[in-house]
């Protein structure tokens, strides 16, 4: 994760509020640091506050000036300000005005208005050209490296909403080349798995977003043709559902649920609801698992019963196949008659499972992207539900292809319950399919060793409930009469 940013020997101004500590530098009149007090860089107790500005040479909130079709920025301008070195925005907010002049006499002004609460501040950029000259447009530039952060699938990307189109471009895509996009810009900036830094233009709002990569940093430029003054709100904070909703519901699009958003979003809200009932996100995940199991119970039971009926009919199916192996038409007719007599749908076990797949993918994305799980403890050794499960033991060797020096207890429990569920489930008639289904828990265990503990806890809880459900159904079917033979 990004640490403290080394500034050039220029004057700095520090702004503090209840939620963050921001630092402005006279070099380019830019934001050089923005630390969130309620979030830490890592899960360690002594970890420093989370640094949102993962910057390098091109710090965020640069002004871009368009003249004669050419673009330049204020990176070399040294700004001045009457503000003191330390500014407290907690009581009623604070305003910092910075002014500078380019080598050719263009006067630039940046005004930062920090609020006493929340993760949003306002910024105004103004450019006044010398007498007899003009500028063709003005814009903002945000920059940051897009190298992956520590953590599962924590990959920064350029994120925006332009003319209602959601943009999520990774480093490779930007390096390859992304065409500029014109229209109403709701927000544009950079986000990773848990945090977002984004401009939200307020005047003007119609502009052009261009994206490119220079050195090891990505640039997002929003240009407004003909403008000499820009007004924008800036959000720098967590991708927390309620917080984003309070700022602008459109910011929820920055939580990258993929195609499962319509399913994942309600589950994420449900998870937060359960946390209010049981203030532990591990318990909230278990409650969420129970609710999902109850919602999918009718389809699940229907599918399992169909599979069990198919299993009980298997001896008769084999006899029919053997009897009519040389007459395919007769074989098909006899099979259909057998299924009709016993009220069995051959696809009955597959269709409910296919319907449930989007639900499971939605849950996966909801738990994966929930910032609430970041550094959230559960019990004992599980101190971070967003990190892989690992009971650290000094004498235990490092598990290959992982960062775990210990025992992935939840993963092992998940694998055991998965094997038990497969053992209780009606056996597949095809021996090859049967072997494949028995190997699946082992494959999943290898995958989940590097996945967040919150996801593993969900699948372990779900498997455990599945074992109970299958056990009850097995007892029910033992009491039913054997189907009549043909």
Q: What is the pLDDT of residues 35-77, one digit of tens each?
A: 999 999 988 888 999 999 986 778 899 999 999 888 999 999 9
Question: Is 40 within 8 Å of 375 (Cβ atoms)?
Answer: yes
Cβ partners under 8 Å of residue 11, min gap 6: 25, 26, 80, 81, 85
Q: What is the pLDDT of residues 432-482, one digit of tens each?
A: 656 666 778 888 888 888 889 999 999 999 999 999 988 888 887 776 555
User: What are the DSSP calls for 299-358, one per residue?
Assistant: HHHHHHHHHHHHHHTHHHHHHHHHHTTT-HHHHHHHHHHHHHHTT--TTTTTHHHHHHHH
Is pLDDT at 234 greater than 70 in this prediction? yes
Which of helix, strand or coil describes residue 70?
Answer: strand
DSSP letter (8 states) at residue 208: E
CA-closest candidate to residue 389, choices 374, 368, 411, 373: 411
> For residue 454, what is the enclosing H or E element?
helix 453-478
Is pLDDT at 213 greater than 80 in this prediction? yes
In whole angstroms, what is the distance from residue 257 CA to residue 30 CA?
Answer: 32
Q: What is the pLDDT of residue 329?
A: 80
Virtual torsion, Cα 211, 147, 259, 178, nearest 10 deg: 20
Average pLDDT rounded to a whole number, residues 407-431: 82
Domain with CATH 2.70.98.90 in the chain: 12-254
Q: What is the pLDDT of residue 473?
A: 84
Q: What share of the chain is helix, strand, coil (3-state, %, to 5)?
A: 35, 30, 35
DSSP letter (8 states) at residue 260: G
Per-residue pLDDT band for 119 (boundaries 50, 70, 90) equals very high
Q: What is the pLDDT of residues 394-409, one digit of tens each?
A: 777 777 767 777 889 9
Strand residue runs (E) in 145-254: 157-162, 165-169, 178-191, 195-203, 206-214, 217-225, 229-238
* Least confident residue range of 6-15, 133-142, 169-178, 217-226: 6-15
Question: Is 211 within 8 Å of 158 (Cβ atoms)?
Answer: yes
Is pLDDT at 8 greater than 60 in this prediction? no
Question: Is 280 within 8 Å of 378 (Cβ atoms)?
Answer: yes
Q: What is the pLDDT of residues 262-318, one digit of tens each?
A: 889 899 999 999 999 999 999 999 999 999 989 888 878 877 777 777 777 777 877
Q: Which residue has the higher pLDDT, 437 or 183?
A: 183
State the number of CA atoms in the 13 A half-sphere of 110 facing the CB.
31
Is pLDDT at 106 greater than 60 in this prediction? yes
In whole angstroms, what is the distance from residue 368 CA to residue 263 CA?
Answer: 14
Is pLDDT at 152 greater than 80 in this prediction? no
Q: What is the pLDDT of residue 3?
A: 42
Is pLDDT at 7 greater than 50 in this prediction? no
To the nearest whole percent, how much of the chain has pLDDT over 70? 90
Which of helix, strand or coil describes residue 414?
Answer: helix
In whole angstroms, what is the distance from residue 86 CA to residue 486 CA?
Answer: 90
Q: What is the pLDDT of residue 410?
A: 94
CB atoms within 10 A of CB 385: 27
Per-residue pLDDT band for 86 (boundaries 50, 70, 90) equals very high
Choosing among 3.30.70.20, 2.70.98.90, 3.40.50.300, 1.10.10.410, the CATH entry for 12-254 is 2.70.98.90
Query: What average pLDDT does the structure give for the chain?
Result: 86
In whole angstroms, what is the distance from residue 32 CA to residue 13 CA?
Answer: 10
Q: What is the pLDDT of residue 355?
A: 64
In whole angstroms, what is the distance from residue 413 CA to residue 409 CA?
Answer: 6
Q: What is the pLDDT of residue 403?
A: 72
In whole angstroms, what is the distance from residue 285 CA to residue 294 CA?
Answer: 14
pTM: 0.85
Average pLDDT rounded to a whole number, residues 369-377: 92
Is pLDDT at 2 greater than 50 in this prediction? no
Sign of CA dihedral 453, 454, 455, 461: positive
Q: What is the pLDDT of residue 400?
A: 75
Per-residue pLDDT band for 423 (boundaries 50, 70, 90) equals confident
In whole angstroms, what is the distance from residue 457 CA to residue 381 CA?
Answer: 13
Q: What is the pLDDT of residues 235-249, one digit of tens each?
A: 999 999 999 999 999
CA-closest candidate to residue 427, choices 315, 342, 298: 315
Q: What is the pLDDT of residue 435?
A: 67
Q: What is the pLDDT of residue 350?
A: 61
């Amino acid at each position: 994760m990004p640490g403290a940013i080394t500034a050039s020997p220029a004057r700095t101004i520090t702004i503090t509020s209840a939620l963050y500590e921001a630092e402005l530098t006279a070099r380019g009149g830019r934001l050089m640091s923005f630390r969130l007090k309620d979030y830490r860089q890592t899960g360690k107790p002594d970890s420093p506050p989370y640094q949102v500005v993962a910057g390098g040479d091109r710090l965020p909130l640069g002004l871009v000036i368009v003249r004669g079709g050419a673009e330049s920025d204020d990176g070399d301008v040294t700004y001045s300000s009457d503000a003191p070195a330390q500014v407290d925005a907690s009581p009623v907010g604070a305003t910092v005005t910075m002014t500078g002049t380019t080598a050719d006499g263009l006067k630039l002004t940046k005004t930062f208005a920090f609020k006493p609460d929340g993760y949003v501040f306002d910024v105004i950029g103004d450019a006044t050209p010398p007498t007899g000259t003009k500028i063709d447009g003005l814009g903002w530039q945000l920059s940051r490296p897009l190298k992956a952060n520590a953590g599962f699938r924590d990959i920064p990307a350029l994120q925006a909403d332009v003319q209602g189109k959601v943009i999520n471009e990774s480093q490779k895509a930007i390096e390859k080349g992304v065409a500029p996009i014109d229209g109403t810009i709701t927000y544009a900036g950079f986000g990773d798995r848990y945090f977002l830094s984004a401009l939200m233009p307020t005047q003007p709002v119609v502009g052009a977003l261009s994206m490119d990569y220079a050195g090891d940093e990505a640039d997002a430029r929003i240009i407004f043709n003909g403008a000499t003054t820009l007004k924008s709100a800036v959000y720098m904070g967590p991708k927390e559902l309620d917080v984003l909703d309070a700022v602008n519901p459109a910011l929820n699009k920055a939580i990258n649920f993929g195609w499962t958003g319509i399913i994942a979003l309600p589950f994420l809200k449900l998870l937060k609801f359960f946390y209010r009932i049981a203030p532990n996100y591990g318990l909230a995940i278990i409650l969420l698992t129970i609710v999902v199991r109850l919602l999918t119970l009718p389809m699940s039971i229907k599918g399992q019963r169909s599979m069990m009926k198919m299993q009980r009919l298997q001896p008769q199916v084999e006899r029919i196949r053997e009897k009519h192996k040389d007459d395919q038409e007769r074989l098909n007719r006899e099979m259909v008659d057998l299924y009709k007599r016993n009220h069995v749908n051959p696809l009955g076990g597959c269709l409910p499972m296919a319907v449930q797949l989007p639900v499971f993918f939605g849950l996966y994305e909801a738990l994966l992207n929930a910032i609430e799980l970041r550094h959230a403890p559960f019990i004992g050794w599980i101190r971070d539900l967003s990190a892989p499960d690992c009971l650290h033991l000094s004498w235990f060797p490092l598990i290959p292809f992982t960062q775990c020096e210990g025992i992935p207890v939840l993963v092992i429990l998940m694998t055991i319950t998965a094997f038990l569920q497969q053992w209780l489930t009606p056996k597949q008639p095809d021996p090859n399919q049967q072997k494949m289904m028995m190997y699946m828990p082992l494959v999943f265990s290898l995958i989940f060793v590097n996945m967040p503990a919150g996801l593993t806890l969900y699948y372990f809880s779900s498997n455990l409930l599945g074992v109970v459900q299958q056990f009850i159904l097995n007892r029910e079917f033992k009491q039913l009469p054997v189907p009549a033979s043909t």
